[in-house]
Every structure is written in C-alpha cells, then in structure tokens.
Structure 1
Amino acid sequence: MHRRRRRSALVLSAALIAAAPLLTACGSDAHPGAAAVVDGRRITVGQLENRVNEVRVAQRAATKDDAQYEQAIAKTGSLTRDTLHSLVLDQVLARAAKDAGVSVSRKDTQRMRAGLEQQAGGAKALETAWLQQYGVAPQRLDDSLRTEIEAQKLAAALGADMNTEAGKATFWKALSDASKKLHVDLNPRYGTWDVEKSSRADAKTPWLREVTAEAAKPA
C-alpha cells in the first residue's frame, strides 16, 4: 500500500483503539443475554460470538495448516473483547459523526476500497491484509472501510490533526462525549471501562472462559 495512505489508516485505527477506554459503562444491572447495551439497544452475546466466529473461519481459510491456524489464534487471544470494543465503537463513532454533521456515502466506501485494492494488489490481498492487521472478516470489510472514512471525516470536521497529541485528544473527547450520551453499559463478563486511567480493566472472574476458537476448529 502507499506509505502515506497506510500511515493515515493506521493512525486513525490507533485512535479508535485508544479511544475505547474513554467509553463510559456502569456494568451494574444485569442484562440477560447482552454483551453490552448502547443507547438502550443490546449487543447480544450471540451477535458477538457470530462476529468472532466469522474471523476464526476466515483465519482458518487463510492458513495452510493447523500449526499456522493455532499461531493466528494465539496472536488474537483477546479477539472476543476486541470485537466487542469494535461493535460498541462503531455506534459511538456513528453518534459522534452525526453530532458533527458527518456522513459517509456508499460511493465513498466504494472509492476507498477500489483505491486500497489497487495498492494492495487486488481484492483478495486487501481482505487478507485487513484480516491480519485488524481482525476484520472479509464480509465485514466494507463496514470497516466505512468506519475508517467516518473517522477521517470526523477528524477533519473537528479540525483534529491525528499526528499530534492535541488532535488525538480532540478526537477522543468527541468519542467520549458521544459514549456518555449513549449510556454504554458493558457486561462485566467482558471487563469494564476505566475512564480515569484511560485503559480497559478486565473483570476478575476466572471461572468465566472464552471458548470462541473451538467453534471454528475442524472436527
């Protein structure tokens, strides 16, 4: 990929990851079957598991043998929590973008995908790169690119230079403000959001284990 374009994508993606701890969540009342509740709408455990399994199936298809597949799993051991972060952040980013008057068209996404495919050496190469770098299954690539564009447009609307600390702070504050409006509530099973430390704190519940990889393993 073109070095400058790739750097921009990585900077924005890093901004979204770093912004995750700024989400607010009480994790108090139990929400049966919910991994998280955002603006009163549930992200169910089933939806989360389906997304994780999509990635595992794609990783299985992209690896040559069991050893490579196991290595891919080892490198993405926090996939379930990372996927939940993304599902929540998608909604938070969408709210921040709406508040800033930002919108993304289908044409925007198609244009970006065409450009990235050309740089990557084809559609398959781009899908593989996004799977390996960001844990995005091929069928979710357009959604991921739309989020990337949304982040770029939001940064521009805010006048936030993502290459500077001040710009990043402005961007993250917009996400934090949006998350507060959406009243994000995370199931304690997947940890909590520590706003003060700007880092994720995992719930200390050793009896809870993630077994998402098992569903994708061959019988």
Structure 2
Amino acid sequence: MNIEQARFNMIEQQIRPWEVLDPQVLDLLFVVKREDFVPAAYRNLAFADLEIPLADGQVMLAPRVEARLLQELGVRKGDKVLEIGTGSGYMAALLAARAEHVVSLEIRPEIAATARENLQRAGIDNVNVECADGIAGWPQRAPFDVIVFSGSVAQIPPAVLKQLRVGGRLAAVVGEAPVMEAQLITCIADGVFNTINLFETVVPALDGGQPKQEFSL
C-alpha cells in the first residue's frame, strides 16, 4: 500500500465531502500519522472510512467524524483541552498539535497504557492520559477551553459542562442508537450554553462515560 496516496485519498474522498475545509485541519491530517495509532492487525485499514477495533470492544472513530469535530471545535494555541475517551490516542494527538495542553481520560487501563505508548512514540509531550471515568470530567485542571467526547453519550453530564470556561466549546455525539446527533455546545456565560446541531451520525457509546440516569441542569 502506498501510505501517502492512501492518506491523500482519505482526505480528498472522505473528509472534504464532509465539509471539512479548514486548511489547518486538512494540513494536520498529513502531519499526524494516523497509521501510527492503529493496532498492527488493522494497519492496512488505517485510512478506511470505518471504525477500527481496539482492545476490549472499543474503537477508533471514523476519520471523517474526528476531522469534522476537530474543525468545529476551532482549537487555538493556548487552549486547555479535555478529551473523554482516549482510545488509541490519535484524537488527542490531533488536539495537542493545536492546543497548549490536553488531558485525555480513559477508563480502561490497558487502552490508556497503549495510548501513552503511541503518543510517546509520536513525540507528543503535551498530553496527559489519565485512567479515569470521564463522567466526572477532570476538575483538577478545570476550567477547559475545549472539551470533546470521543464516543457517544446519552446526555452531556452536568459535571463536565460545569468545567467549560466561558467562551469554551464542547463537542459530542449525543443520543442513543439509531438517533444520534453531533453537537457543538458553547458556554456563552456562566451556566449558560448555546447548542448547535452539526450532523446526524451513529457512533459507539463511550465506555464508562455513558450516563444512564436522567440529569437535570
């Protein structure tokens, strides 16, 4: 397989058609090597339009979904970022390339350890992978400028919303199959949020971060 041709095809045939047109995001997809975060058994599928299996039934999200969420979040230099659901570490690597620092929460120790290894091998030193249940967020480093859920949740946990700085952005796929929607939530004032529905999709539930009970804000 011609790796660079496959990467180019992924960007031009999968990602651009999903309205990912920010040149900085597109350039980043050439720089951060997705294949370095894919399990060896699935390396030949690194650029395919599908979710790639990880350990314990978890997955890497499809490239177009990750790229679209990254674009909508508009990560800037100086931003403090919280990712809930580390997976392979690839999304954390993309976020880290644009942010000052990323905290990424992963509930499964084996997956967290593999992600740390992937990030270290890629030379990325501004990501802390913490083994924790993301439903509580990470109050130790709050507030955050950007929060992203790398997997779907039935609802956004209020504890996580409270960790978003005024002016901060949160992206998540919200709902339960077969009806889910990617949302961008902006904190416009203390305790006040504006929600934009971005696109319909269905992605696996975030393991350990899926709130089953009903919340009231």
TM-score, normalised to structure 2's length? 0.32
Looking at secondary structure, tell me which structure has more helix per residue: 1
TM-score by length of 1: 0.31
| Structure of higher RCO (CA pairs closer than 8 Å, 6+ residues apart) | 1
